[in-house]
């Protein structure tokens, strides 16, 4: 079956060669490489960054130290950029996590991912939303879900070589149908966003998030949904004005590290930031719509009629969803969104907060991006 | 610690080499031992006791075997030594598997499963247990003299180039080298070149293809193209990963004067499974032959027993790779084909088939085996097989399509070229002396810039463990 291994198959100590001097080059090169590597490692900041509170015996300390050590190496960025450049210009690929579409449009792979337990996960989310609705209703609070369609769905024509996966085609519609059947108001946001593309971009090229314009389109649709509920919310006059023109390197641009060639890759987005403030000519008090607690004017959250719960789409002021809602509704909004937690955790946190317990609002707007529907999130204790 | 990491390349290796070459000869083994323990302890210090215990127990038993009054006592001692080693392997590697299988059985009969806290598998355990067993058996068979020098023996077991993932070495091959070996710059240079080749294989090829294999094997209902692409990716990944590791081990050993035997010999150009096992993980197949197949009676106990021994050796060899039914079936697959080839005469069986058919034919048999080797469980493997015969459609699925990158496809093509052109190239490069050594010509020096690229690549990729560490 198997041959004996003997010394004859070992590497001989010395050999005869056509170019004996060449035999020494790899050794010299390796010595140079190891010396340079060691010198650079010894002067890198990560070398002396010793972890605290980590167990040495179980290897936890070593893992932490190694991560820090690697991050501090001076050629780290060169390596990342060299390979990033090669992959982008040779194959139009970024680091794992981004897909390069047409005309500088970038998309997250999260919107393409297949989830084995999607049916079960979305069913659970729907049940959770129903439970939340009942919990809110018990305090006289309405729930409106702002189900944000995936960027791939709104800009399917910019996907280029990546067709929208078949298993995601119905995701938005079926989940929204589920919400409506459960009696949870959830306005159609896909149609207005697609229609609004004629007037401006509703998502950012290099980011997973929407533009302030996209956020304002959604805010208008949420207003329509709230109008149908006839909640008679106390109004506050808000004005929105343009602020600075900013350059925004989106979260997806990090996946395309081109170093000195960055200007030949996808370019950062430019947009005008919006600022929404209470109007100086606010006459709501004269009209009898002033909130019971005038401390609102001082920024206190008590008695704010609308609570906004959601993800980074709502949390990040750059995208201006909170302001867009205030502008569309002309009602004050308490923003309870959290970043990087998915859509479910912020709601759990909100329902534990004093803002909810002490002064329940008239309505909660729950912003839920479609791409988070099949993702499982651990419940917070 | 792994070879393809900055902590090894920039701190451990330079520091070790400086101290090693400054250390007097008589203390070199002590230094190797301490450095190897540090190398292992970097993963977990608390499992070092196991390595030390196995070393000390094997060392003492070997001395006992030598001093045994008679053959009976020697046999008792070697059996006890082997059993102790196998008990350690069984506890750390197979207890979880045994309990899980038993619990599955209990649940099938509607009984409550037993409560069980999973045991952590010490890294490299399978390899250093095999080293210890080979030492005991060699002493028992009088093929080697037991060493009086515990430090040399401990350094042999712990020698960091082969500690984590082999090659599986026999003590008598290295014993002489521990006593005396040469250190020349040409040897160091050869070792450096070999290390660089292995490093490039691992980082540039195996790690580039790995995500595609992972994505394909994660699919629920892979199509024909999904599954074959995934299996091809894994076939290349495991070869370049593991042979790359072996190259690095051989290279590192050479850098400090040791000569390790070759572990791979272009396995994917084999024309039969029998030939494949002469070319794939040679040190393991030699070990299995020497210590398991022969111990079971080899071909000395009749025809039927020979086939059974062959089959059982491969099944147990499969199980050695991991505690999962998938590895048992993988071993059975190879054992069955080996037995069949032996029965029909592998050369006679495949002789009528020209090389352009027998090479890909053998490769396909190997790939079918790799599905079992890679799948998380038997069910997943059969999902893959369903895909391979086209039961889930033919073309690339949406779930995989977006994950396939140009770099992966180009790397696969280059890897295939290397697999089929490599043997011819090596033959051309072979020196006039016996043995395979990479003769350095101008073309060979292209490995130097590739090594720099690979070193930069480490920064650009996430930590990627060697596949063979889990075995």
Domain ranges in chain A? 28-104, 109-279+302-372
Residue A21 in contact with partner chain B when CB distance is under 8 A: no
**CA gap B212, B405 in Å, rounded:** 8
Examine the residue annotation and report whether A207 is marked as an active-site residue of this protein.
Answer: yes
Query: Which of the four pLDDT bands, split at 50, 70 and 90, describes residue B429?
Result: low
| Closest Cβ opposite residue B289 in set A1, A37, A96 | A1
pLDDT score recorded for residue A299: 43
Q: Which of B190, B433, B456 sits opposite A78 (nearest CB)?
A: B456
Range of lowest pLDDT (A6-10, B326-330, B334-338, B374-378): A6-10
Q: What is the pTM of this model?
A: 0.88
* Probe site for chain B from A30, A70, A98 (most B CB atoms < 10 A): A30
**Gap between the Cα atoms of A71 and A61, Å rounded:** 16
Helix (H) or strand (E) run with residue A137 in it:
helix A118-137
Length of chain B: 471
Largest CA-CA distance found in chain B, in angstroms, rounded? 70
Give percent of chain B with pLDDT exceeding 70. 94
B contacts of A70 (beta carbons < 8 Å): 6-7, 459
Residue range B100-131, pLDDT digits in tens: 888 888 888 888 888 888 888 888 999 999 99
B347 pLDDT higher than 70: no
| Arithmetic mean of pLDDT over chain B | 90
* Interface list for B 408-437 with A (CB within 8 A): 410, 431-437
Highest mean pLDDT among B2-16, B107-121, B138-152: B2-16
pLDDT tens-place string over residues B42-80? 999 989 999 999 999 999 999 999 998 888 999 999 999
What is the mean pLDDT of the segment spanning B284-302? 89
Measured CA distances, B330 to A160, B101, B368 (Å): 41, 18, 9
**pLDDT (tens digit per residue) in B212-235:** 999 999 999 999 999 999 999 999
Under a CB-based contact definition with an 8 Å cutoff, are residues A303 and A359 in contact? yes
Q: Which of A126-135, B324-333, B341-350 has the lowest mean pLDDT?
A: B341-350
Residue whose entry in the numeric block shows the structure tokens 């996946």? A255
pLDDT at site A295? 40
Task: State which residues of chain A have pLDDT below 70.
Answer: 1-20, 281-302, 379-381
> Where exactly are the structural domains of chain B?
6-180, 187-271+353-469
Residue B150 predicted with pLDDT over 50: yes
B-contacting residues of A 170-229, CB under 8 Å? none
Is the pLDDT assigned to residue B436 strictly greater than 70?
no
Across residues B340-345, what is the average pLDDT?
Answer: 86
What pLDDT shows up at residue B219?
93
CA distance B279 to A2: 9
């Amino acid at each position: 079956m198997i041959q004996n291994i003997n010394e004859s198959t070992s590497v001989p100590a010395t050999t005869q060669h056509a170019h004996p001097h060449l035999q020494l080059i790899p050794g010299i090169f390796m010595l140079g490489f190891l010396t340079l590597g060691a010198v650079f490692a010894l002067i890198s900041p990560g070398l002396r960054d010793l972890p605290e509170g980590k167990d040495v015996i179980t290897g936890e300390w070593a893992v932490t130290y190694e991560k820090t050590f690697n991050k501090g190496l001076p050629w780290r960025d060169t390596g990342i950029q060299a390979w990033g450049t090669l992959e982008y210009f040779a194959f139009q690929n970024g680091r794992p996590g981004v897909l390069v579409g047409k005309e500088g449009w970038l998309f997250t792979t999260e919107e393409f991912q297949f989830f084995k337990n999607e049916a079960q996960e979305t069913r659970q989310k729907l049940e959770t939303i129903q439970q939340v609705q009942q919990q809110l209703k018990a305090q006289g609070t309405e729930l409106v879900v702002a189900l944000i369609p995936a960027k791939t769905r709104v800009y399917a024509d910019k996907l280029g070589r990546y067709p929208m996966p078949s298993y995601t085609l119905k995701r938005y519609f079926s989940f929204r149908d589920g919400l409506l059947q459960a009696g949870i108001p959830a306005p159609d946001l896909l149609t207005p966003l697609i229609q609004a593309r004629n007037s401006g971009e509703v998502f950012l090229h290099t980011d997973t998030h929407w533009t302030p314009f996209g956020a304002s389109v959604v805010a208008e649709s949420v207003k329509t949904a709230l109008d149908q509920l006839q909640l008679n919310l106390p109004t506050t006059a808000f004005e929105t004005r343009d602020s600075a023109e900013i350059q925004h390197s989106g979260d997806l641009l990090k996946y395309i590290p081109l170093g000195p060639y960055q200007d030949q890759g996808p370019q950062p987005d430019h947009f005008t930031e919006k600022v929404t403030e209470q109007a100086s000519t606010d006459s709501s008090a004269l009209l009898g719509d002033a909130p019971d607690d005038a401390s609102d004017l001082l920024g206190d959250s008590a008695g704010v009629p609308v609570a906004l719960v959601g993800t980074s789409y709502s949390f990040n002021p750059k995208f201006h969803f909170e302001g867009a809602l205030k502008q569309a509704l002309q009602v004050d909004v308490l923003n309870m969104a959290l970043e990087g937690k998915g859509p479910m955790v912020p709601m759990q946190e909100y329902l534990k907060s004093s803002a909810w317990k002490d002064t329940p609002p008239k309505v909660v707007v729950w912003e839920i991006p479609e791409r988070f529907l099949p993702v499982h999130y651990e419940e917070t204790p | 610690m792994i070879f393809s990491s900055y902590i090894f390349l920039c701190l451990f290796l330079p520091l070790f080499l400086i101290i090693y070459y400054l250390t007097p000869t008589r203390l070199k083994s002590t230094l190797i031992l301490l450095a190897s323990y540090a190398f292992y302890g970097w993963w977990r210090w608390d499992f070092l006791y196991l390595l030390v215990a196995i070393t000390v127990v094997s060392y003492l038993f070997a001395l006992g075997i030598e001093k045994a009054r008679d053959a009976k006592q020697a046999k008792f001692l070697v059996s006890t030594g082997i059993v102790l080693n196998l008990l350690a392997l069984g506890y750390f590697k197979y207890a979880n598997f045994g309990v899980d299988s038993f619990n599955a059985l209990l649940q099938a009969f509607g009984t409550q499963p037993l409560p069980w806290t999973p045991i952590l598998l010490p890294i490299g355990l399978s390899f250093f247990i095999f080293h210890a067993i080979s030492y005991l058996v060699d002493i028992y068979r009088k093929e080697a003299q037991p060493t009086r020098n515990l430090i040399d023996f401990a350094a042999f077991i712990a020698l960091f180039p082969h500690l984590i993932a082999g090659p599986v070495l026999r003590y008598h091959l290295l014993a002489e080298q521990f006593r005396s070996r040469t250190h020349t710059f040409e040897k160091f240079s050869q070792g450096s070149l070999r290390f660089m080749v292995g490093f490039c294989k691992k980082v540039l090829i195996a790690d580039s293809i790995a995500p595609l294999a992972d994505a394909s094997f994660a699919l629920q209902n892979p199509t024909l193209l999904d599954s074959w692409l995934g299996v091809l990716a894994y076939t290349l990944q495991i070869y370049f990963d593991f042979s790359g590791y072996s190259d690095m081990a051989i290279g590192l050993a050479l850098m400090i004067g040791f000569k390790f035997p070759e572990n791979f010999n272009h396995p994917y150009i084999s024309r039969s499974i029998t030939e494949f096992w002469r070319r794939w993980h040679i040190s393991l197949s030699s070990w299995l032959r020497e210590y398991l197949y022969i111990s079971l009676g080899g071909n000395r106990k009749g025809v039927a027993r020979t086939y059974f021994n062959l089959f059982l050796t491969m099944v147990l060899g499969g199980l050695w790779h991991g505690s999962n039914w998938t590895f048992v079936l993988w071993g059975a697959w190879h054992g069955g084909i080996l037995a069949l080839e032996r029965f029909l005469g592998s050369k006679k069986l495949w002789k009528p088939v020209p090389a352009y058919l027998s090479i890909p034919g053998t490769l396909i048999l190997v790939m079918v085996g790799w599905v079992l080797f890679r799948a998380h469980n038997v069910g997943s493997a059969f999902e893959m097989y369903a895909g391979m015969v086209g039961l889930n459609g033919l073309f690339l699925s949406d779930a995989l399509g977006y994950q396939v990158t140009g770099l992966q496809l180009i790397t696969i093509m280059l890897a295939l070229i290397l697999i089929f052109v490599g043997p011819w190239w090596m033959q051309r490069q072979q020196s006039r002396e016996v043995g395979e050594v990479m003769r350095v010509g101008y073309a060979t020096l292209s490995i130097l810039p590739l090594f720099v690229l690979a070193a930069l690549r480490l920064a650009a990729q996430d930590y990627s463990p060697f596949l063979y560490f889990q075995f």
